[in-house]
């Protein structure tokens, strides 16, 4: 029986948890920088009246857990052998756009004076972050082995 091709995971049983763990670390780092440094002044200025006095860890952890399950399932698809980077990036962009757009447009619909600026910036962030996390996770899980081969193409 031939071994795995360069774009196939070496251990399919471990592919999903490995992709999830890598995506979780990557997303935690970039979202921490985004929320804690880059967007913090904007959110404080535009949403300060809506922000809780104390951070609530349980819903935040639930969001990160479930969001990453969706990103891995819908965009990374670690058990789908030979999945090109370009397809992964496209699916991550769609997933990020749809999930962040749902939150932001719902917020604009139900909260009084929810800032339009935040809607556009947050949707852009969610789309961009999803693409960055998926692309880096793809590269770390199998892109290095297939660079320059069909599995590493952007097609």
pTM, full prediction: 0.84
User: What are the residue ranges spanned by the domains of the chain?
Assistant: 13-152
pLDDT at 146: 54
pLDDT at 11: 61
pLDDT at 81: 79
For residue 37, what are its two tokens?
Answer: 């440094």
pLDDT at 14: 84
Kindly report, residue by residue over 78-87, the tens digit of the pLDDT.
888 788 999 9
pLDDT at 89: 98
* Nearest CA among 152, 5, 136, 145 for reference residue 71: 136
Residues near 61 by beta carbon (within 8 Å), at least 6 away in sequence:
none
pLDDT at 82: 85
pLDDT at 154: 46
pLDDT in tens, the chain (155 residues): 455 555 555 566 688 999 999 999 999 999 999 999 999 999 999 999 888 999 899 999 999 999 999 999 999 998 887 889 999 999 999 999 999 999 999 999 999 999 999 999 999 999 999 999 999 999 998 766 555 444 444 44
pLDDT at 110: 97
Alpha helices for the chain (secondary structure H): 12-33, 40-47, 57-71, 85-110, 116-138, 144-146
């Amino acid at each position: 029986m031939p071994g795995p091709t360069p774009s196939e995971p070496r251990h399919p049983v471990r592919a999903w948890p490995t992709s999830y763990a890598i995506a979780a670390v990557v997303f935690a780092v970039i979202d921490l920088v985004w929320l804690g440094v880059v967007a913090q002044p904007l959110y404080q200025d535009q949403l300060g009246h809506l922000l809780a006095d104390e951070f609530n860890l349980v819903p935040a952890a639930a969001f990160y857990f479930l969001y990453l399950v969706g990103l891995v399932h819908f965009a990374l698809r670690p058990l789908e052998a030979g999945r090109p980077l370009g397809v992964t990036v496209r699916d991550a962009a769609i997933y990020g756009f749809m999930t962040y757009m749902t939150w932001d447009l719902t917020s604009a619909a139900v909260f009084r004076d929810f800032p339009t600026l935040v809607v556009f910036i947050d949707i852009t962030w969610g789309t961009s972050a999803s693409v960055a996390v998926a692309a880096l996770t793809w590269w770390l899980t199998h892109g290095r082995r297939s660079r320059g081969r069909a599995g590493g193409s952007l097609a």
